[in-house]
Structure 1
Amino acid sequence: MDTLLRIGLVGTGPWAGATQAPALAGHPGVAFSGVWGRRPEAAALLADAHRTAAFTGEDGLSALFASSDAVAFSVPPDVQAPLAARAAEAGCHLLLDKPVATSVEGARAVARAAEEAAVASVVFCTLRFAAPTAGWIAAQREAGGWFTAHGHWLGSLHVPGSESPFAASAWRREKGGLWDVGPHLLSVLLPVLGDVTGLSGGRGPAGTAHLVLRHAGGASSTVTVGLGAPERAAGAGLVLLGEHGRAELPEDWGDPVDSFRGAVDALRRAAREGRPHPCDVRFGLRITELLAQAEAALSG
């Protein structure tokens, strides 16, 4: 793609401000076509910081879609899903955040809209686009022979006194770590061990979820996620065990701005070549299906 890809941004929250807007503004292959926000002052502030246009309201959303080749999203998942479907219908390629939606119906509607409009899509699962972890995932998939895996991602967003900019997120408080950080671990496990063919789960303290997964390749895995862990217990990691011994996910994931630029590159290639990316909206739909299944298992 020799010409710049015009990409607009929907959302003005902390993730948009810290990661997506600077990544789009600084990408040499992108023309940052604008920022849409529900609050005009927030849209104007973020747009001014990155020398692009601000949009708000229904008319502004339509105008952003009309002036963009692709749209990136940084809004709650169940706000993202219907807006992404509209963007696809307007002919825009999709750069989605995880999870695509917190209902199978919502994620399926986005996938259907993207397919019908023949637009490219990428879901920004950070570990799939951060250079250190993306290379590790590819190497472990190539190696094969894995017997089991153990992954955990524990945050402390919901402990008293949390200073995280995401602590006030209503959807994270409602849906918990299963939906917020669960997609990250699934985005690693599925390409390495194969699709999930069986799932069971149990609840732990402070909203922690424990899952046991069976994979199409014959391996099993365990996943522990939560957002209410004590600060000193917070952290993330994943270990594979198999015929080659032990492989541990790198601790250094690099700069998330660089990772998001990697996702932009993936979307540009998918749009140029007309070939779906492995981490596209259909993959995002599969993650939503598994999380919904896990939620049902945890409630049973």
Structure 2
Amino acid sequence: MDRLRVGLVGAGPWARAVHAPGLAAHSGTELAAVWTRRPEVAAGLAEEYGARSYPDLEVLFDAVDAVAFAVPPQVQGRFALFAAAAGKHLICEKPLADTVEDARAVVEAVERTGVHSTMVLTLRHAPAVRDWLAEMPPEPAGPDTVASARWISGSLLGGPYCTSSWRAEQGALSDLGPHVIDLLDAAVGPVVDVPWARHDQPDLWRFGLLHSGGAQSSVTLSTRVPVDPSEIEFTVLGGAGRHRLAGRGADAATCYAAMLDELVAAVGGSGPPPALDAARGLRLQELVAAVRAAVDGAQPV
């Protein structure tokens, strides 16, 4: 198979730092096209990587095999439907869409058209994280196991993402929550319930998860605590053993390349469909919504 021609939708800080260089550097992909709502910005990024900018998104779809999205969830959810309908494979950010209903529509479009999809859940593609998950027992952990996750960041207080309107509006739960819930789900078993949740200032989310085998986990998240670098830690204790993971496990470029390895293999027929696909993105969005619902229904203590 020739290299997968990918069109990049978006040209913000994450697109420039991760998507564009990652697609250009990977041996199985080509950054072929760029679109943003500002044509001059798209043209500048495209020129940097020898790609072509397109003022018309539908014309871009005609020129590529896959589309990578680096746009707010409400935009991604809408454009991903068009891309899937055009038969293009999808590289999607989290959250998959603005609402659970819109995310479900993306999954239905992917299933209907038979395209491949992958979520940019960078944490899961880090070699150290994969090694950590490989230490876990194969069966879901039982009620004699507890797990915890802590991701405390100051990313909305300064830096390249502090002006992101959707992150500011939706907070750490939508930004960091999918990564954390995904990893705990993979480590100790599928999440089946959100027994409790609290949301305090500064954008501090605390919630509990119940897993299919009876294990319980607790999560603390914030993107508005003045700390640099971020504090990231996952711990599993009890019948499943003692396992601790600190940090992201690898830089975003390494994780993105591993994600592309899976997608390219799937499209070329030499590997299975990506496990962290749009359906996975939908499930994580459902669980994030369940956390919000638990906060809304919480009684003062």
Tell me which interval the TM-score lies in, with the shorter structure as reference length: over 0.9
Find the partner of 2:128 among 132, 151, 166: 132
Q: CA deviation at 1:242?
A: 2.3
1:289 paired with 2:286, answer yes
TM-score normalized by structure 1? 0.92
Deviations 1:13-65, CA, capped at 9 Å, x for gaps: 00000111000011111122111111112111111111111123xxx211111
Question: What is the SS of the residue equivalent to 1:245?
Answer: coil
Q: CA deviation at 1:177?
A: 0.2
**Alpha-carbon distance in structure 1 between the residues aligned to 2:121 and 2:248:** 16
Deviations 1:169-202, CA, capped at 9 Å, x for gaps: 0000100000000011012111222222221201
Residue type of the alignment partner of 2:43: A
Gap change, CA 1:71 and 1:244, over 3 Å in 2: same
Q: CA deviation at 1:206?
A: 1.2
Structure 2: 5+ residue stretches without partners = none
Q: How many residues align structurally? A: 293
Gap change, CA 1:141 and 1:15, over 3 Å in 2: farther
| Map of 2:54 onto structure 1 | 55
**Alpha-carbon distance in structure 1 between the residues aligned to 2:262 and 2:215:** 29
Gap change, CA 1:296 and 1:145, over 3 Å in 2: closer
Question: What is the SS of the residue equivalent to 1:231?
Answer: coil
Find the partner of 2:203 among 207, 211, 228: 207
| Map of 2:149 onto structure 1 | 151
**Alpha-carbon distance in structure 1 between the residues aligned to 2:12 and 2:280:** 25
Gap change, CA 1:144 and 1:292, over 3 Å in 2: closer
Q: CA deviation at 1:203?
A: 1.8
1:176 paired with 2:171, answer yes
**Alpha-carbon distance in structure 2 between the residues aligned to 1:82 and 1:13:** 18
Residue type of the alignment partner of 1:284: G
Residue type of the alignment partner of 1:116: R
1:271 paired with 2:270, answer no
1:75 paired with 2:75, answer no
Question: What is the SS of the residue equivalent to 1:192?
Answer: helix
Q: CA deviation at 1:154?
A: 1.5
Find the partner of 1:117 among 104, 113, 118: 113
Deviations 1:124-164, CA, capped at 9 Å, x for gaps: 101111222123223325486461110011221333xx2x1
Q: Given that residues 154 and 233 in structure 1 are in contact (C-alpha distance below 8 angstroms), is that contact kept between their aligned partners in structure 2?
A: no
Question: What is the SS of the residue equivalent to 2:217?
Answer: strand
Deviations 1:219-241, CA, capped at 9 Å, x for gaps: 10001111111226942111111
Gap change, CA 1:80 and 1:252, over 3 Å in 2: closer
| Map of 2:97 onto structure 1 | 101
TM-score normalized by structure 2? 0.92
Question: What is the SS of the residue equivalent to 2:242?
Answer: strand
Question: What is the SS of the residue equivalent to 2:235?
Answer: strand
Q: Given that residues 33 and 64 in structure 1 are in contact (C-alpha distance below 8 angstroms), is that contact kept between their aligned partners in structure 2?
A: no
**Alpha-carbon distance in structure 2 between the residues aligned to 1:44 and 1:83:** 20
Q: CA deviation at 1:102?
A: 3.3
1:259 paired with 2:255, answer yes
Question: What is the SS of the residue equivalent to 2:90?
Answer: strand
**Alpha-carbon distance in structure 2 between the residues aligned to 1:80 and 1:297:** 26
**Alpha-carbon distance in structure 2 between the residues aligned to 1:77 and 1:42:** 20
Question: What is the SS of the residue equivalent to 1:228?
Answer: coil
Q: CA deviation at 1:3?
A: 1.8
Question: What is the SS of the residue equivalent to 1:290?
Answer: helix
RMSD value, Cα: 1.8
**Alpha-carbon distance in structure 2 between the residues aligned to 1:188 and 1:179:** 15
Q: Which range moved further: 109-118 or 261-270?
A: 261-270
Identity, in percent, stands at 38
Matches within 5 A, 1:14-53: 14-53=13-52
**Alpha-carbon distance in structure 1 between the residues aligned to 2:199 and 2:246:** 28
